[in-house]
Structure 1
């Protein structure tokens, strides 16, 4: 079944909202943890989940991959004129 761009965008937006909820829950559990190591792990997990949600939201808003997620080839071509990307002079 083919989905429209709007349906896909709505689905990804819902996913980012759920990740934010999961991150908040992980952070709350980390705050309540009596063990310092568990607290640190929980906060790190919450940070990672929030970062994922933010990255997806950035792609939806800008249409571009965040700089820190680009492959080496994408980074090499980042910001170069279109002619350079087609194999022209660099």
Structure 2
């Protein structure tokens, strides 16, 4: 995915494509490598969103899990707001 690391970018526009790719790879027994230039904001946002949307994690739990293996994870402020919104959407749909 070609995504700029800017807080004004709506990274959530790319979630469905990313989730589809990850789901497809995992269901066929494959592995997935998600990366960006620094491995801090864009790639971590995609993985955090996947954990929230597909694995039922809270944002706090997803951050803890990811930071255990990549301590420098820090989505930019705009991406973080989108993760908060995704978590709220998931919580509303689960109710």
User: Which structure carries more helix by proportion?
Assistant: 1
What TM-score does the superposition give when structure 2 sets the normalisation length? Answer: 0.29
Greater radius of gyration (CA) = 1
Which structure is higher in RCO with an 8 Å CA cutoff and minimum separation 6? 2
What TM-score does the superposition give when structure 1 sets the normalisation length? 0.30
